[in-house]
Structure 1
Amino acid sequence: MSTTTFFMPSGTVYGVLLNFRGEVQALAPHMSEPPYKAPPKAPVLYIKPANTWSAHGAAIAVPAKVPQVEVGATVAMVMGQDVQAERVDTALKSVAGYVLMNDLSIPHTSFYRPPVKYKCLDGFLGVGPALMAAQAAGDPSHFALQVHINGVLKQSVGFADLVRHAAQLLTEVSEFMTLRRGDVLMLGCDLGRPLAQAGDRIDISAPGFATLSNTLVAEELA
């Protein structure tokens, strides 16, 4: 009897906020208000711990009190070696490959400090089944993905619209922390994230990538 082995991270998974120009423009008026009073000058990171990881094809439980979840379709870089104080022109040489991810969250209004209780629920990170090797990927700014919910197109995302392109993001992050081999750094989620609910099937696809599919199910109460 054969079994299929899907990719799962071996290190820490980091997400990044406000890395699409459209989202920054939409939230610009709020960034000038207290307590921040200005847009962030460095990447805004958060962690998706191991309890959130869901393999391709897995059912993801949605808590009974949560009517809808936000679909965060993105591409992530997987480190092939340790990265520290990397230069922009060489940063992507440290990337082993790229993978689709679905960074689910409960809808919320915090954009500077993403609350753990909304983003780190069990199963709330769908992980694509396979890496696309960095050598085959080409320029990450050419990535384009689509989100289908129950077979209906709900979002299209182009990664030419990043505030910090992949190499720049990796460079800035590695200035203040070392990314280890196996760590994963998402490129960010665009404005207009679709909503989904228990019973929905979410498919995230992009040219050259193995499609990521998960189904949301209602949480079973003991």
Structure 2
Amino acid sequence: MRRGRVALADGRIREMVLAPVTERAETGGEVHWLPPVAGTVVGALLNYRGEMEALGDALSAPPYQAPPKAPILYLKPANTRIGHGQDVVLPADVDAVWAGGCLGVVIGRTATRVSAECAADFIAGYTIVNDLTVPHASYYRPAIRHKCRDGFCPIGPWVVDRDDVPDADALDVTVRINGEIRQRANTASLVRPVAQLLADVTAFMTLEACDVLLVGMPENPPLARAGDRIDIDIAHIGTLTTQLVRHAQGASR
């Protein structure tokens, strides 16, 4: 099943349960899509093999000295999270952002020192995340100002139950800008597959129910600018839509 949350026109919040065959969520109209989960969002960097290969010898040069041996993590705090179909106002100092098509692993119960073999027991389901990021060159220490602007973590439209996703390590990910395909990837290219990533992260930090673990952003994310519509499709999950709008004079962000 697909489980989402919407705000109705009269202000009421409604939990929605949709049949697995539903692929798209309507935008606008009488409902306002909310993020389907409200926990901490933890992202992993350099978890696609193509991303590692593109950096090549740079990872063995200063300041890095060697390729990473453990997951490189970052957080997307509460101010970044918005729902499907919502606008993101680009800050006045940002000309363009990377559109990051990410599979989000939704945690179902408290996960501490989980083994890869038992990881599925701690996964409630999967969602789509657009990890909007101001382009930058730092990989080991991503600056907060690049990842954590207001609205920079669209999530949704819903969470798909774990058992309705045949194989989380073999999902096609497609990013479209204004309807044009700008990126294709597949989670089969993950350095750490879903279960191993969950095991490696919970080896040193606890994840709670409704937290979201991002498996990573594929290499060469496309750039998007104000006025662009971003659609991220992930097989067996659906489509997450985000519209970028220009910062207005006097706007608060």
Same fold, judged at TM 0.5 (above):
yes
RMSD over equivalenced CA pairs, Å = 1.3
Q: TM-score, normalised by structure 2?
A: 0.85
> Any conservation in 1 of the 2:35–2:82 contact (CA below 8 Å)?
no
Give 2:185's aligned amino acid. V
Aligned to 1:96: 124
The answer to which structure, 1 or 2, has the higher relative contact order (CA under 8 A, 6+ apart) is 1
1:71 counterpart = 2:99: yes
Alignment of 1:45-124 (within 5 A): 45-124=73-152
User: Number of matched residues?
Assistant: 222
Shift of 1:147: 0.8
Contiguous gaps of at least 5 residues in structure 2: 1-8, 10-29
1:140 counterpart = 2:172: no
For the residues of structure 2 that align with 1:212 and 1:15, how far apart are their CA atoms?
18
Aligned to 1:167: 195
* 1:197–1:88 CA distance, 2 compared to 1 (3 A): same
Alignment of 1:123-202 (within 5 A): 123-202=151-230
Contiguous gaps of at least 5 residues in structure 1: none
> Any conservation in 1 of the 2:132–2:147 contact (CA below 8 Å)?
yes
Q: Name the SS for the 2:154 alignment partner.
A: strand
Q: Percent identity at matched positions?
A: 43
Q: Name the SS for the 1:22 alignment partner.
A: helix
Greater shift, 101-110 or 199-208, is seen at: 199-208
Give 1:12's aligned amino acid. T
For the residues of structure 1 that align with 2:95 and 2:75, how far apart are their CA atoms?
24
For the residues of structure 1 that align with 2:50 and 2:91, how far apart are their CA atoms?
30
Q: TM-score, normalised by structure 1?
A: 0.96
> Any conservation in 2 of the 1:28–1:39 contact (CA below 8 Å)?
no
For the residues of structure 2 that align with 1:4 and 1:19, how far apart are their CA atoms?
33
Shift of 1:64: 2.3
Deviations 1:8-59 (A, max 9, x none): 3321100100000011111131111123210111000000001011210100
Shift of 1:4: 5.2
> Any conservation in 2 of the 1:7–1:131 contact (CA below 8 Å)?
no
